[in-house]
Structure 1
Amino acid sequence: MKFFLYISFFAALILAISGFIIKGERPATGELCIGLGICCLFFLWMPAFIYHRWKNKKVEDYMLNKENILKMRNYTDNNKL
């Protein structure tokens, strides 16, 4: 998954940068390359990145419930100067 994320990110980045370079000679093709690069970033890379970062996490650890509020209060009370 990490390899896929690296490859897809750099491919989308290269596609967008080449679109800016090509835009001077052929504006329609350059804008198409820029658009495809940005679409790949948002519709392919970003969901894969979010899935990769959250796949083995417990959502309950990040939710603000009564138990977690008490943990935070105890932590701040114990670490005061």
Structure 2
Amino acid sequence: MKLFMKILGIAILIAIGVGFYFRLTDDLVTGDRIIGIAVLASAFILMPIFLVVRWRGKKLKDYTLSEENMKKMRETGID
């Protein structure tokens, strides 16, 4: 899954670069479309995959500010 994320990330960066190249060669519409599709792919495909991979196996309870975690913070002196 990590390899797929790396390949997808590199492909998105290349697509953004190609989009800017098209914009420089006076084909603004095509360049804007390529950049837009790459940004949408990064937001709706790459980011959710990244979040699933990073949160797999972790407990959300450890990262929320609950009364139990507040007590732990007070005991250790973290304010």
Shared fold per TM-score greater than 0.5: yes
Please list the CA deviations of residues 17-63 of structure 1 after superposition, one character each: whole Å capped at 9, or x if unmatched.
Answer: 11001112211111111111111110110000011110110011111
* TM, length-normalised to structure 2: 0.90
Matched-pair identity in %: 38
CA distance in 2, matches of 1:52, 1:43: 15
Runs of at least 4 residues of structure 1 off by over 3 A?
none
CA-based RMSD of the aligned residues comes to 1.2
* TM, length-normalised to structure 1: 0.88
Q: Which residue is equivalent to 2:73?
A: 72
Give ranges in structure 2 of 5+ residues lacking alignment: none
Q: How does 1:6-21 map to 2 (within 5 A)?
A: 6-21=6-21
Q: How does 1:1-81 map to 2 (within 5 A)?
A: 1-25=1-25, 26-76=27-77
Greater gyration radius = 1
